[in-house]
Amino acid sequence: MTASLLWIPVTLAAAAAQTGRNATQRRLTETIGTVGATQVRFLYGFPFALLGLAAMSIATGETPPSPNAAFLAYALMGALTQILATALMLSAMRERAFSVVTAYTKTEPVQVALFGLVLLGDPLTPAMALAIAVATGGVLLMSVKPGTSLTSAGLRPVLFGLASGAFFALAAIGFRGAILSLDEGSPLIRASTTLVWGLGLQTAVLLVWLGLFDRKALVASFAAWRPSLGAGFLGALASQFWFIGFALTTAANVRTLALVEVLMAQAVSHHFLAQATTRRELAGMLFILGGVALLLLAQR
């Protein structure tokens, strides 16, 4: 496989790791609350990110590049918006099915494409736009049940899910901007460096927030260290792959292909949560796969 197409298996690996992390965090919300479960992803992921950067530096023989003002601004943007996105997603998951909320957040690729075009000048061809529209249409089809509306479980989980997608889009653009703003290093070392800074900033922000406003959740997150460690590892692993993808291609490409996560979430719901798959959901899956196929064809 050529280097130009390496982002494809990298993104698929990221989607698989993120599905596992989301399922783990969803269970943690029941014991340590939404903010506590949000913090787990970053606090317990940060040590794994440091180990990953050290291993990457040894393997490549490269020294992690020094940050500049643009890098820090983009990294902070990515860090803060990802915290908000994760908290909103977990709040929505407490009120609706795991796969449905995942679908709401996956309106993200449309917003990523627009933000990327405006903020980073990332290209958006007609073929890419069509692929994003088809795949996102499949996500929405999976979310709408016959005889009901998107607000059948209340408006709040819908708004939380859509807002989560918007903030995840801004986070993707922020982190891609940070990676591109580094002056030196291979895509791998720039991605790993950005991940460490991003998780470090997120850990610091959430430790201060919880220490000031929710010490009970902070103590609970330390008490639940075993499942939290698993969520942190999967989160760091997923982020490592996401960031490598962002270093290799546009955020819109990565986040559109990442819609396969909806199919993975559906499998989780079906196997572990005893949630059946309907014909409508199967049709939505076909649209998602069709959109992804169009995206990959557009890369030729």
What pLDDT was estimated at residue 68?
Answer: 96
Cβ-in-10-Å burial (0-12, 13-18, 19+) of 211 comes to exposed
Give 271-284 as a 3 state SS string. HHCCCCCCHHHHHH
Packing angle between helix 155-181 and helix 225-248, nearest 10 degrees?
A: 60
Its domain, for residue 126, covers 3-298
Report, as ranges of residue numbers, the positions in the chain whose pLDDT lies below 70.
1-4, 95-103, 143-155, 268-277, 300
Q: How many domains does one find in the chain? A: 1
Express each pLDDT in 137-155 by its tens digit. 887 777 666 655 555 556 6
Q: Are 83 and 40 in contact (CB under 8 A)?
A: no
Contacts of 77 (CB under 8 A, 6+ apart): 170, 171, 173, 174, 177
Q: What is the pTM of this model?
A: 0.83
CA dihedral 89, 93, 97, 99 (to 10 degrees): 30
Express each pLDDT in 18-34 by its tens digit. 877 877 777 777 777 77
What pLDDT was estimated at residue 231?
Answer: 84
> Which residue, 239, 224, 179, 217, is CA-closest to 13?
239
